[in-house]
């Protein structure tokens, strides 16, 4: 039986790595892909999410080729965009940006788009785009102030992290929770399995180790 290909995760995000670990995957290589995330003029949120996922994957693949370990490896990349209508919210870098995001999201619905790209050694590109709808409760001034003080918002799309304190703001979520965190696990597993990276292999190994 052919050996399973190596996996390169095009990210330095501990959240994405933890999500992969959750389903028994430990990438052979972590290759951060720093790209310009500025939306193009008139670019819609869903297109931005997929374009950036593609760009990150290609950037990581190029770096891996230069390092000599890309020839037989799959490259996985993802990008998450938070939007209200057509308005793309930033990855908050300042408290003011985060406050603006939270004020906009308070008491209303928004969408989170997560683009997923898998590049194969043969040059093929597999893509998925996952859309999740979320509604926040109406946030009081004190809640926003306290959340800003937590600093959890830093470098988070839309100025919040659903896996943290901001989980208490969510009234309703329709779609993929893991996609909002940063990596849609259902779609990731399907893409990898389709390219010969059998995800459940490690589940069997874990069962043996734990004596299940």
**CB 23: neighbour CB atoms within 10 A?**
17
31-66 burial, b for 16+ CB within 10 Å, e for fewer?
bebebebeeeeeeebbbbbbbbbbbbbbbbbebbee
Instruction: Pick the catalytic residue from 54, 79, 100, 155.
Output: 79
Backbone angles phi, psi at 30, to 5 degrees: -110, 120
Q: For residue 19, which of 95, 99, 130, 135 has the smallest C-alpha distance?
A: 130
**CB–CB of 99/72 below 8 Å?**
no
Q: For residue 118, which of 3, 10, 4 has the smallest C-alpha distance?
A: 10
**Residue 79 bears catalytic tag:** yes
Name the residue with tokens 């004190």: 142
Residues labelled catalytic: 79
């Amino acid at each position: 039986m052919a050996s399973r290909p190596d996996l390169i995760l095009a990210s330095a995000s501990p959240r994405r790595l933890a999500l992969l670990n959750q389903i028994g995957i430990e990438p052979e290589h972590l290759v951060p892909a720093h790209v310009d995330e500025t939306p193009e003029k008139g670019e819609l949120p869903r297109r931005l999410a997929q374009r950036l996922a593609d760009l990150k994957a290609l950037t990581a693949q190029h770096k891996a080729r230069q390092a000599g370990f890309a020839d037989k490896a799959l490259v996985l990349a993802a990008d998450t965009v938070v939007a209200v209508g057509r308005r793309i919210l930033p990855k908050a870098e300042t408290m003011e940006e985060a406050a603006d995001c939270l004020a906009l999201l308070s008491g209303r619905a928004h969408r989170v788009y997560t683009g997923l790209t898998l590049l194969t050694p043969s040059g093929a590109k597999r893509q998925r785009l996952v859309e999740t709808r979320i509604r926040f409760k109406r946030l009081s001034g004190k809640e926003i102030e306290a959340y800003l003080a937590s600093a959890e918002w830093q470098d988070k799309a839309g100025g919040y992290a659903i896996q943290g304190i901001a989980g208490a703001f969510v009234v309703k979520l329709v779609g993929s929770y893991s996609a909002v965190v940063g990596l849609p696990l259902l779609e990731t597993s399907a893409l990898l399995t389709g390219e010969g990276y059998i995800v459940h292999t490690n589940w069997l190994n874990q069962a043996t180790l734990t004596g299940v």
